[in-house]
Chains A and B, each alone.
Chain A
Amino acid sequence: MHADPIGVLTGAHFIDGDHACSEGAIAAGCRFVAGYPITPSTEVVERIADRFPFVGGVFIQMEDEIASSIAIQGAAWGGKKVMTVTSGPGFSLMMEHIGLAAMTETPCVFVDVQRAGPSTGLPTMPAQGDMMQARWGSHGDYQIIALCPNSPQECFDLTIHAFNLSERYRVPVMIMMDECVGHMIERVVIPSADKIEVVDRKTFEGPKENYRAFDAGRDLVPMMVKAGDGYRIHVTGLTHDEKGYPDMSVSAQGKLVQRLMDKIRLNADDIVLYKEENVEGADVVVVTYGITSRTAIPAIEQARAKGLKVGHLRLIVAWPFPEKRIRELAGRVKSIVVPELNMGQMVYEVERCAAGKCNVVSVPHAGGTVHQPKEIFAAIEKSLRGK
C-alpha cells in the first residue's frame, strides 16, 4: 500500500529531526496523536498540531504522559494509526501503558527523544540513557521493537518504518531519538507518496461468530478489528484467552506470554536491521547507534588511516538485538568497541552475545554532549592490546 498523498510533503526540506519525525508520522498515515510537552521532544507534537487539521488528523495535548500513552491506545482501537512523543521523564511515566499495548497487541508508536538523566537531568542536552528502559521498562515479560535514527532524514524514514512494524506485528514500537538528532537541522528529502510503502494492520472481515480476537495463525499475529464494527470485542490487560476473556490460569498465562514473546523473537530475522561497513576481515568492530554512530566515524577513519582493520556496525533496530550477527562476529574479531551516550547499556547485550569469544570494550559517557572522536579512537586502540 502507498502513502496517502494528502499527508506527504514531497520535496527537499531543511528541517530538524523532530520535525522530520512529524512528517514521517503523517506520511505513514498516523492520524491521532496525544502528547504532552517535554524538552527536547515538544517540536514533534507542535508540528503535528499545526499540520493535522489539514490532513484529517486529530491531535490533543493531554493532561499528562500517562493519559497520552493510553489515549493513543483508545484511538488505535477506534481504527487509527497512533503515536505519542516524549523524553526520559515522560517515558518513565508511560511504562505501564507500554506494557498494556504489548499485552493487548495494540499497534502504537512511542517516540523518546532522549536527554541526559536520570530524573530531570539535563533537559536540553543529548544522551542515550533510555535504551535498556525501552526494552525492559514495563513490568513482566513482553517484547517491543526499538529503532535508532541517526539523522533528520532517518527520523523521517524510520518513523514510517516504525509505523509499518507496529501495524505488522501489533506491538508497541519505540523510536529512540536523542536531543542531538532531534534538534539538528539537515536536508530531508520526502519522496512522492507513491514511493512510500505503508503497512496496515491485518483486519478480520468475516462473520462475528467466527472471530477470535486473540487467536493467531502461523505468524503469531492475530487479526484485528475496531470498535464499532459489530464484533463486540473484549480487550483486557488481564491474562486472557483467544476470545479476549480474562483467564486466571497458569496455562493461559504460559500460552499468552509465550506467544507475545515468540511473535517478535521468532520473527526477529525479518525485523533486525543494521548497517555494516568494512566489517569483513576486521579486527575491531565498533558497534554504535543513533548520534554516536556519527561521532564514531572520524575515530574509525583515523584508526583505519593508521592501518588498523576497523569495521563499523550501526544498529538501526536496537531491539530485537542482532544476536546472531554479534555472535558470529565475536568469533572472528579481536574486539568489539561500544561507544554510547550512557554509562554502558547496549554493551551488555554485545557482551552477552560475544560470550567471551572476543574483547568487548565500553566507551561510556554520562551524557550532555557527544563523545570526542579521540575517546573512541583511544578505545579502539586499547581494545587491541588484549583483555
Chain B
Amino acid sequence: MPEELYEIEATIPPNPIEEYLRMDRMPHIWCPGCGIGTTVNCFVRALQTSGLDLDKVAVVSGIGCTGRVAGYMNLDSFHTTHGRAIPFATGLKLANPGLKVVVYSGDGDLTAIGGNHFIHAARRNMDLTVILINNMIYGMTGGQAAPTTPVGATASTTPHGNFEETFNLPFLAESCGAVYVARWTAHHVRHLTKSIKEALGKKGFSFIEILAPCPTLYSRRNKLGDGLDQMEFYRDQSEIKNGADTKTVALDFQGKIIVGKFVDKERPTYLEAMNAHYQKKLGERYVPSDEMRKVFHV
C-alpha cells in the first residue's frame, strides 16, 4: 500500500455540515435540481462561521417546499401554518429575546397569505432574519401562481399565462422598514453565504430574497429546461449591484436579475424601542422579564 495514499485516506474529514442537519431524515423530499437544498447549504455554512450558539438558534418555517427546511435543520425548529411563520417567530422572540430566530420560508407563504405579517414585522423592525426562497411558484401544491410569478409565465392557476403584476420584494421590504435587504440566487453560493452571515449578525428585520429553481413545475411548465438550466440562467443574467435603488430591481420573465445587498441601515428594534420607552416612562416601576433583563440589561 503506497504510504502517502494511506496517510491521506486516514484524514478525510467528515462533512462538516452534517451536524447542522437531521441526517436521520435524509434524503430530503426536494426534487432533483431544486435550489432549496443549495440555499440550506449556504445557511449552514453561514451558521458555521457566525459564532452563534446553535442551542440558541431557532428556525421557523411555514408551509410549502421551502417550509420543509425547518424539519431538516438540527436546531430548535418549528413547522407552523401557511403564512404564519413570522408571527410565530415574533412570539418566540418576545418570549426569549436571547434566541436568534430565523424565518425560512417560500415566496407564496411569506408574501401572499403571509403578506400582512411580513409588512408589520418589517415595520416594527422585529429582530428576525427572514430568508425567503423565491422559486416564483407554489411548488408543493403542484405549481400554482404566486405573487412573484412573472407576467407571461404559465402556472396551473394561470394556464393561459399570468397577467398579474408581481411584487418587487426588495422594494416591498425596504418600504416597510427592513434594515437589511438583499437578493441573491442559488447560484451565488459565496455571496449568499456571506449575506446570510451578515443578516444573522444584524439586529432588526433582515430580509434576503434568494431566487432558486423549481425544475418540476415552474421551469417545466414554462419550458425553461431543468434545474441546471435555471442555475446557468441565474449565472448569465444576474448583475451584482450592491446599493441599488430597490425601486429598480423588479424581476420579469427571464429578464435581467439585479442581485446584491441593497439596504443595510440601523434603527431601533422592536424590543430596543420597547425597553427604552418603558424605562423612560415608568422608571423604577418597569419590571422587564428575566429573559429581557439578560439581553437588554434593563
Residues on A facing B (Cβ under 8 Å): 6, 31-32, 34, 53-58, 60, 62-64, 66-68, 70-80, 82, 96-97, 100, 226-238, 245-246
Whether, in the assembled complex, B288 has its beta carbon less than 8 Å from a beta carbon of chain A, the answer is yes
Whether the pair A53, B286 counts as a contact (CB closer than 8 A) is yes
| A78 close to B92 (CB less than 8 A) | yes
Which of B87, B91, B117, B288 is in CB contact (< 8 Å) with A32? B91
A226–B99 CA distance with the chains assembled, in angstroms: 11
Min CB gap A234→B, angstroms: 5
B43 at the A/B interface (Cβ < 8 Å)? no
Q: How far is the CA of A5 from the CA of B98 in the complex (A)?
A: 26
Contact A78 B278 (CB under 8 A): no
Taking A53-B278, A71-B87, A73-B91 as contacts, is the C-beta distance between A78 and B96 under 8 angstroms?
yes
Nearest-CB distance from A270 to chain B (Å)? 29
Q: How far is the CA of A73 from the CA of B274 in the complex (A)?
A: 21
Taking a contact as CB atoms under 8 Å apart, the answer to whether B80 and A71 are in contact is: no
Q: Can you pick out 19 interface pairs between chain A and chain B where the beta carbons lie within 8 Å of each other?
A: A6-B287, A55-B287, A56-B290, A62-B87, A67-B116, A68-B87, A70-B80, A70-B88, A74-B88, A74-B95, A75-B95, A96-B81, A97-B84, A226-B96, A228-B99, A233-B77, A234-B22, A234-B70, A235-B78
- The listed residue (B25, B76, B81) touching A232 by CB distance below 8 A is B76
**Which residues of A lie under 8 Å from residue B81 when comparing CB positions?**
70, 96-97, 100, 237
Q: Contacts A53-B282, A67-B84, A226-B96: A74 and B78 contacting too (C-beta < 8 A)? A: yes
What does DSSP make chain A's interface, helix, strand, loop or mixed? mixed
Instruction: Give the residue name and chain of the A residue nearest to B117 (CB).
Output: A67
Asked whether A71 and B79 contact (CB < 8 A) given A56-B288, A228-B56, the answer is: no
Distance between Cα atoms of A96 and B93 in the complex (Å): 22
Chain B interface size range: 35 or more
Measured between C-beta atoms, what is the minimum distance from A66 to chain B in Å?
7
Assess the B287–A74 pair: CB atoms within 8 A: no
Residue of B nearest to A227 (CB): B76
A24–B282 CA distance with the chains assembled, in angstroms: 23
Decide yes or no whether B71 CB sits under 8 A from chain A.
yes
In the bound assembly, the distance between CA atoms of A78 and B96 in angstroms comes to 6
Tell me if A231 and B95 are in contact (CB < 8 A).
no
Task: Provide the residues of chain A in CB contact with B56, threshold 8 Å.
Answer: 228
A60 to B88, CA, bound (A): 13
Cβ contact within 8 Å between A58 and B76: no
Measured CB to CB, the closest approach of chain B to A224, in angstroms, equals 13
The CA-CA distance from A70 to B86 in the complex, in Å, is 9
Q: Which residues of A contact B70 (CB under 8 A)?
A: 234, 236
Q: Mark B156-182, 1 if CB is under 8 A from A, else 0.
A: 000000000000000000000000000
Q: Are A71 and B91 in contact (CB under 8 A)?
A: yes
**Given A70-B80, A74-B93, A227-B96, list of 12 further CB < 8 A pairs?**
A54-B286, A56-B289, A56-B290, A58-B292, A67-B84, A70-B88, A70-B91, A74-B78, A74-B90, A78-B95, A97-B84, A234-B22
- Residues in B with CB closer than 8 Å to A72 are 91
Give the Cβ gap from A26 to chain B, nearest Cβ, in Å. Answer: 12
Q: A58 and B25: CB pair below 8 A?
A: no
Given contacts A97-B81, A233-B77, A236-B71, contact A75 B282 (CB under 8 A): no
C-alpha gap A75/B120 in the complex (Å): 18
User: Considering only CB atoms, which chain A residue lies closest to B119 in the complex?
Assistant: A63
Q: Contact at B94–A64, with CB atoms within 8 Å?
A: no
Which residues of A sit under 8 angstroms from B288, Cβ to Cβ?
56
Q: In angstroms, how far is the closest chain B Cβ from the Cβ of A307? A: 57
The 8 A CB mask of B93-129 against A (1 = contact, 0 = none) is 1111011000000000000000011001000000000
**Counting CB contacts under 8 A, is B41 at the interface?**
no
Q: How far is the CB of A81 from chain B (nearest CB, A)?
A: 10
CB distance from A86 to the nearest CB of B (A): 15
Say whether, besides A67-B117, A246-B71, A78 and B99 are in contact (CB < 8 Å): yes
Docked Cα-Cα span, A272 to B145, in Å, equals 48
Q: Do A74 and B87 form a contact, CB below 8 Å, given A79-B96, A234-B22?
A: yes
Report which of A6, A227, A232, A245 forms a contact with B92, defined as CB distance below 8 A.
A227
Contacts of B117 in A (CB 8 A): 63, 67
Which listed residue, A53, A96, A227, A228, touches B287 by the CB 8 Å rule? Answer: A53
